Chain A
Amino acid sequence: MVTGNKTETQFLKYIHTVGMTTMRGRGFYYPVDSAMNSDGRIYTVSRSAEKTTGDTIRVTMLNEEGEYFGIFGSKGDEDGQFMWPVGIAVDSKNRVYVTDEYLHQISIFNESGEFLKKWGSRGTEEGLLDAPSGIAHDPEDNVYISDSRNHRIQKFSKDGAFIHSFGSYGCGDGEFNLPWGLFVDINSEVFVADWANDRIQHFTSDGKFIAKYGPSETEKSAFTRPAGITVDKDGYMYVADWGNEMVKVLDPDGKFIQTLRGEATHSKWAEDFLKINLEEAQAREKANLEPQIQYFNEDPHEESSHIEKLFWGPVSVLLNNEERLFITETNRHRIQVYEKV
């Protein structure tokens, strides 16, 4: 059963797709997050797989039109290298921050990808990290990090000096279970994808609980393992509902207004590939890429594995200055772009 888009409200519409799978170079290999600088340059971090070597783990630099600016980073624990990269963010000076949940550190690069510095080490004390994942900056360039295996959010200065932390393991208000993506708005309020609790939590800048979205007292949560969150200037929330293979839009009151299931088309890079690989392109042309299949338990993960246009592993949501929404998909190695109607 193809779910398609539920259009409770037609708030967003699909525009196009960016990127494609490549083990190295121009493309992505299990992208886990994307960030954008003030010039519209996109930085997409590819986690790759443990068995691979070299620069399959990398940050790819591109823009929305598919212009390619190169890569930086590779597998390893030296300066500028990664093992399990997971989150990426750009500060107001266009410096690029990457979290690594194996090395328990943050690496910082200039806008061209030259390594500047790194900080962070493993531990449970305040200021130490255990599997840092999501990362975001406030308007003063302070850094908020989902310290995921410590089940808390930590705030650091841009140089890595600890400021404060909030949260602990649990499922009550203000508690976390393996938090992942997070977002800080212009008022420095913090939104956290509280992954294993199937919800979004909303806090003041100093960590006071404001609200939660997803679970209700009587019904199953609307989210399954949400991985990413972003919020626009009007307060609309966009959630990467990773376990449901969807993106959900909530109005400022937390009411669900649109569910996206994905509608990818060929990106510029995909077109380039198919132009020079005619045998594959011709066979693809004849194929039915939206087969009608009965899925066991109507599992959305399984459905996405069969139908290429659907989101598969929507992990990160990013809004640019024009409020276009960039959705990074780990398992399809691409970014789908939507805009407001």
Chain B
Amino acid sequence: MPENQMELIAHLMRRAGFGATRDELEKYNAIGYEATVEQLLETSDPKWMSEYLLRRYHPDESSMLIGLSGLQAWLYRMITTNTPLLEKMALFWHGIFATGYPKVVNSKPLSDQIRMFRRYSMGNFNTLLLQMAKDPAMIIWLDNQQNHKNAINENFGRELLELFSMGVGHYSEDDVKECARAFTGWTIGNTEYMEVRSARDSDWPYGRISWHYEFDADDHDDGEKEFLGRKGNFNGEDIIDIICEEKETARFIARHMYHFFVADEPPVPQWPYQPPRDPEAIDQLVKSYFDNNYDIQEMMRFLFNSDFFKSKDCWYEKVKSPAELVTGVMRLTESVDRPEYEYPAKEQRMQFMGQTLMNPPSVEGWDGGTMWIDTGALVERMNFASEELGRLTTPGAEELFNKIASDGNGEVLPDKIVDACLEHMGSIFIQDDTRTKLVNYATANDVVRVANNNIDDVGKESIAGVIRLIAATPEFQRA
């Protein structure tokens, strides 16, 4: 495998972003790897297509009457954002704190939860957990509005320990109950009315009403609790403080980070029984967690600069999720700069591939990895990528044609076409036999000829054919 900075940055962009165009890679290459990491970590001024523009043309993205309305806005945002890592972090936390529409029955709080992830995803883990515990969609999703002083509901308390922080095997059933007691009274405003509306899927008389967190002191159990070996009149904030101090929390979050950003791990339920793929990497991330006072951004900085991340052993070791694949493809086309009527169809393609954001299959989110690939999903993935990237008239395709034409008039050799396409699609490194097959395909196709710095439609179609084939390769389908 060739060794150069450009390919390493391409690897970084596939993981910390949604891939990169050749132009973007050249810009990053000019500033170097570490400076690129810093640019990705700088997420304080996110810009994307414009929320006003989206609301003007798709008013349902404003008040969200239709189920999963916010998904479309999220996809627009992922495709057009200048801070791709921020969106990847939102996807990351959405996969862990997975909350779904069927129980919430109101797209606005779900969308608000994703916005909360953007605000807190790169800060302190303690703060993020606290915001998550106060998040209205999460409260309804895990029934904490039914967690009362004199009748606890353990659902949120259990998932906080099992799925959001420590993992199975590191706490007792009594800890679950005590945890639940500490979160009694953490509810949403106008609980009864909002529950009735959700139960009836009501948007009457004047559309959806957003939800807000409310603390009901009268319904809060402020008595003494014993939690993870400590005693005190703990409230929810205290419980989160204790959880964040636990080494198992650090290990659990570190393994999630490794799974999402470095290489696919087995599904979470297997973690108690199957050791991490790279235990040393997990140990290093745990150390970073404590050294930096639970600061997530510092953990990400450490991860992207680590040897285990840069190692070629983990390149292409992740299967792109449908959200990553669709976003990456559309970013490569550079064709999305304003709202279009047909746009919701892109979001549906993602669903056909097996992922409906804001509607996870369970509280455990998506397993990821090779679970994304079954025969139906694979065909859909290849078809989508081939169709979108194979269009001759997108700005992205025009860039590629111009780049090839800029090498001068005359016939363009098939291997040059293949190399140009691989570079254009994000500096993809493919196996030798795959490359040979692509060159053979290009050789059998119509000749690509440059005349007056232009390629005619026959030549463009030949090039697009190569692009479509690359889109179907394992390397492109992986990250």
| Interface positions of A (Cβ within 8 A of B) | 20-22, 29-30, 32, 47, 49-52, 83-84, 102, 178, 180, 195-196, 224-225, 227, 243, 264, 266-267, 269-270, 273-274, 277, 279-280, 283-284, 286-289, 291, 293, 296, 301-302, 305-306, 308, 312-313, 330-334
A273 to B200, CA, bound (A): 14
Chain B residues lying within 8 Å of A332, measured Cβ to Cβ, are 63, 206-207
Q: Assuming A30-B59, A283-B193, A330-B59, is B209 touching A306 (CB within 8 A)?
A: yes
A131 to chain B, nearest CB (A): 9
A320 to B204, CA, bound (A): 27
B197, B203, B204: most-surrounded residue (chain A CB, <10 A): B204
Chain A residues lying within 8 Å of B69, measured Cβ to Cβ, are 49
Q: Which of A280, A288, A331 contacts B197 (CB 8 A)?
A: A280
A330 to B63, CA, bound (A): 9
A284 to B207, CA, bound (A): 14
- Give the A-B contact count at a CB cut-off of 8 A: 117
A291 to B212, CA, bound (A): 9
5 shortest A-B CB distances, which residue pairs? Answer: A270-B205, A49-B60, A331-B63, A287-B193, A287-B190
B residues 299-350 touching A (CB-CB < 8 Å): 341, 343-344
22 contacts between A and B (CB under 8 A): A21-B206, A49-B69, A84-B57, A224-B52, A225-B56, A267-B205, A269-B205, A280-B200, A283-B196, A291-B189, A293-B212, A302-B210, A305-B108, A306-B210, A308-B206, A308-B209, A312-B62, A312-B207, A313-B59, A330-B62, A330-B63, A333-B207
B residues 205-258 touching A (CB-CB < 8 Å): 205-210, 212, 214
Chain A residues lying within 8 Å of B391, measured Cβ to Cβ, are none
- Is B66 a contact of A331 with CB atoms below 8 Å? no
B407: CB under 8 A from chain A?
no
A334 to B207, CA, bound (A): 9
B297: CB under 8 A from chain A?
no
Chain B residues lying within 8 Å of A264, measured Cβ to Cβ, are 206
A296 to B115, CA, bound (A): 11
A131 to B411, CA, bound (A): 42
B90: CB under 8 A from chain A?
no
Chain A residues lying within 8 Å of B55, measured Cβ to Cβ, are 301, 313
Q: Is the interface of A mostly helix, strand, loop or mixed?
A: loop
B58: CB under 8 A from chain A?
yes
Which residue of the partner chain A has the closest CB to B51?
Answer: A301
B202: CB under 8 A from chain A?
yes
A334 to B57, CA, bound (A): 19
- Is A21 a contact of B344 with CB atoms below 8 Å? no
Q: Assuming A21-B205, A273-B204, A287-B192, is B59 touching A47 (CB within 8 A)?
A: yes
Chain A residues lying within 8 Å of B196, measured Cβ to Cβ, are 279-280, 283
Number of B residues with CB within 8 Å of any CB on chain A: 36
A287 to B202, CA, bound (A): 15
Which residue of the partner chain B has the closest CB to A272?
Answer: B205
Chain B residues lying within 8 Å of A266, measured Cβ to Cβ, are 205
Q: Which of B65, B200, B204, B210 contacts A49 (CB 8 A)?
A: B65
- Is A331 a contact of B58 with CB atoms below 8 Å? no
Which residue of the partner chain A has the closest CB to B190?
Answer: A287
Chain B residues lying within 8 Å of A280, measured Cβ to Cβ, are 193, 196-197, 200, 202, 204
Chain A residues lying within 8 Å of B341, measured Cβ to Cβ, are 50, 83-84, 102
B199 to chain A, nearest CB (A): 9
- Is B65 a contact of A225 with CB atoms below 8 Å? no
Which residue of the partner chain B has the closest CB to A84?
Answer: B341
- Is B206 a contact of A286 with CB atoms below 8 Å? no
| Interface positions of B (Cβ within 8 A of A) | 52, 55-60, 62-63, 65-66, 69, 108, 119, 189-190, 192-193, 195-197, 200, 202-210, 212, 214, 341, 343-344
- Is A312 a contact of B59 with CB atoms below 8 Å? no
Q: Assuming A21-B65, A49-B66, A225-B56, is B207 touching A286 (CB within 8 A)?
A: no
Chain A residues lying within 8 Å of B189, measured Cβ to Cβ, are 288, 291
Q: Which of A225, A269, A333 contacts B52 (CB 8 A)?
A: A225
- Is A305 a contact of B210 with CB atoms below 8 Å? yes
Chain A residues lying within 8 Å of B343, measured Cβ to Cβ, are 50
- Is B205 a contact of A274 with CB atoms below 8 Å? yes
- Is A195 a contact of B202 with CB atoms below 8 Å? no
A45 to chain B, nearest CB (A): 12
Q: Assuming A102-B341, A301-B62, A313-B63, is B210 touching A270 (CB within 8 A)?
A: no
Chain B residues lying within 8 Å of A288, measured Cβ to Cβ, are 189-190
Chain B residues lying within 8 Å of A291, measured Cβ to Cβ, are 189-190, 212, 214
A116 to B248, CA, bound (A): 71
B366 to chain A, nearest CB (A): 23
A27 to B306, CA, bound (A): 59
Chain B residues lying within 8 Å of A301, measured Cβ to Cβ, are 55, 62
Chain A residues lying within 8 Å of B57, measured Cβ to Cβ, are 84
Q: Assuming A264-B206, A305-B108, is B192 touching A286 (CB within 8 A)?
A: yes
A249 to chain B, nearest CB (A): 23
Chain B residues lying within 8 Å of A305, measured Cβ to Cβ, are 63, 108, 208-210
A100 to B233, CA, bound (A): 62
B193 to chain A, nearest CB (A): 4
Which residue of the partner chain B has the closest CB to A270?
Answer: B205
B336 to chain A, nearest CB (A): 15
- Is A50 a contact of B344 with CB atoms below 8 Å? yes
A96 to chain B, nearest CB (A): 21
A313 to B57, CA, bound (A): 12
- Is A20 a contact of B60 with CB atoms below 8 Å? no
Which residue of the partner chain B has the closest CB to A267?
Answer: B205
- Is B56 a contact of A331 with CB atoms below 8 Å? no
Which residue of the partner chain B has the closest CB to A83?
Answer: B341
A195 to B343, CA, bound (A): 23
A225 to B56, CA, bound (A): 10
- Is A273 a contact of B205 with CB atoms below 8 Å? yes
- Is B192 a contact of A331 with CB atoms below 8 Å? no
A266 to B203, CA, bound (A): 14
B319 to chain A, nearest CB (A): 29
Q: Assuming A49-B65, A288-B190, is B59 touching A270 (CB within 8 A)?
A: no
Q: Which of A20, A195, A302 contacts B205 (CB 8 A)?
A: A20
B475 to chain A, nearest CB (A): 34
